[in-house]
């Protein structure tokens, strides 16, 4: 992601953005929908040795509940996923935890100006090359004459140019501007001057007035644009949406969440909300 951002939010809309559509089905059982971003900032942790915790199926097979493992690649500028070896159990993948997540971003770029326009990788981790990423949540309202009007809801501007993750987003699922999950140490702020809700958790009845509804299916949609503002690195991220009925019971930290979901079937469900990528 390297658009040589000039600060004009509208200029690159749709041109240099990854665009996602979030389906809210007519059977969706909640008034609230929470949009979560996994690791939206591009700051990697430096640690390479980790204690791996295993799921109940692994433990019940007589195997050790924890193991100490290392990244195969110990360089902080590179991604790291540690295999848990739970595939050895021969169970379906939704009944095991395949990976222990350590780093999903890649610190890239050379030269000045944050590495913009220059492919390659620094000799060692350089936070000035980290990509600053903008996440913008919005929907389309249907006016009285049937035309559609875009309504911005909230925006999150990712951190960069620092070795410290002040928003505590590294290896976490977070919903900017929304109530934090029970294991989050800090509130993750949405942009305080952008959007009508300034939160990635919205009420369908109160925050989405006149939202356009597909007359054929009864479905409605939120949209999320992901746009690089600056930097030359690879900022990995994921998106999830659903009701916020788990924030007091399911962790935001990715590895603990994965274990909880395996051990407690049905404890974390989107209730039909589905994220689709649009275009390329």
- The secondary structure of the chain, three-state, reads CCCCCCCCCCCCCCCCEEEEEEEECCCCCCCEEEEEEECCCCCCCCCCEEEEECCHHHHHCCCCCEEEEECCCCCCCCCEEEECCHHHHCCCHHHCCCEEEEECCECCCCCCHHHCCCCCCCCCCCHHHCCEEEEEEEEEEECCCCCEEEEEEEEEECCCCCCCCCCCCCCEEECCCCCCCCCCCCCCCCCCCCCCCCCCEEEHHHHCCCECECCCCCCEEEEEEEEEEECCCECCCEEEEECCCCCCCCCCEHHHHHHHHHHCCCCCCCCCCEEEEECC
Measured in degrees and rounded to the nearest 5, phi and psi for residue 25 equal -75, 160
CA separation, residue 101 to residues 69, 172, 173, 224 (Å): 12, 10, 12, 24
Q: Which residues contact 11 (CB under 8 A, 6 or more apart)?
A: none
Q: Chain centroid to CA 45: how far?
A: 17
The pLDDT value given to residue 230? 84
The pLDDT value given to residue 280? 65
pLDDT under 50: residue ranges of the chain: 1-5, 14
Please, how many CA atoms are within 13 Å of residue 191, restricted to the half-sphere of its CB?
A: 17
Closest CA to 36 of 214, 257, 259, 263: 257
Closest CA to 103 of 57, 176, 44, 58: 44
CA separation, residue 169 to residues 79, 159, 163, 233 (Å): 16, 10, 13, 17
The pLDDT value given to residue 113? 66
The pLDDT value given to residue 72? 84
The pLDDT value given to residue 1? 44
Radius of gyration (C-alpha) of the chain in whole angstroms: 20
The pLDDT value given to residue 212? 97
Question: Could you tell me the pTM of the whole model?
Answer: 0.92
The pLDDT value given to residue 161? 72
Q: Which residues contact 104 (CB under 8 A, 6 or more apart)?
A: 39, 79, 81, 171, 236, 237
């Amino acid at each position: 992601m390297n658009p040589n951002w000039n600060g004009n939010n509208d200029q690159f809309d749709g041109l240099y953005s990854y665009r996602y559509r979030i389906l809210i089905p007519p059977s969706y059982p909640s008034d609230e929908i929470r949009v979560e971003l996994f690791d939206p900032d591009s700051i990697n942790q430096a640690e390479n040795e980790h204690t791996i915790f295993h799921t109940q199926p692994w433990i019940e097979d007589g195997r050790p509940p924890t193991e100490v493992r290392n990244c195969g690649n110990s360089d902080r500028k590179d991604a790291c996923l540690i295999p848990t070896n739970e595939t050895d159990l021969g169970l379906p993948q939704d009944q095991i935890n395949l990976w222990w997540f350590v780093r999903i971003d890649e610190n890239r770029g050379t030269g000045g100006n944050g590495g913009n326009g220059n492919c390659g990788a620094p000799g060692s981790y350089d936070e000035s090359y980290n990509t600053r990423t903008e996440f913008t949540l919005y929907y389309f309202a249907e006016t009285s004459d049937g035309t559609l009007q875009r309504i911005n809801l909230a925006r999150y501007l990712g951190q960069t140019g620092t070795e410290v993750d002040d928003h505590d987003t590294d290896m976490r699922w977070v919903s900017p501007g929304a109530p934090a999950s029970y294991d989050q140490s800090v509130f993750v702020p949405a942009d305080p001057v952008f959007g009508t809700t300034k939160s990635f958790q919205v009420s369908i009845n109160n925050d989405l007035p006149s939202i356009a509804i597909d007359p054929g299916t009864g479905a409605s949609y939120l949209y999320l644009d992901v746009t690089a503002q600056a930097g030359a690195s690879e900022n990995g991220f994921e998106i999830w949406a659903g009701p916020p009925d788990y924030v007091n019971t399911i962790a935001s930290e990715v590895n603990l969440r994965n274990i909880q979901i395996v051990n407690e079937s049905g404890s974390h469900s989107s209730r039909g909300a589905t994220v689709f990528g649009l275009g390329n």
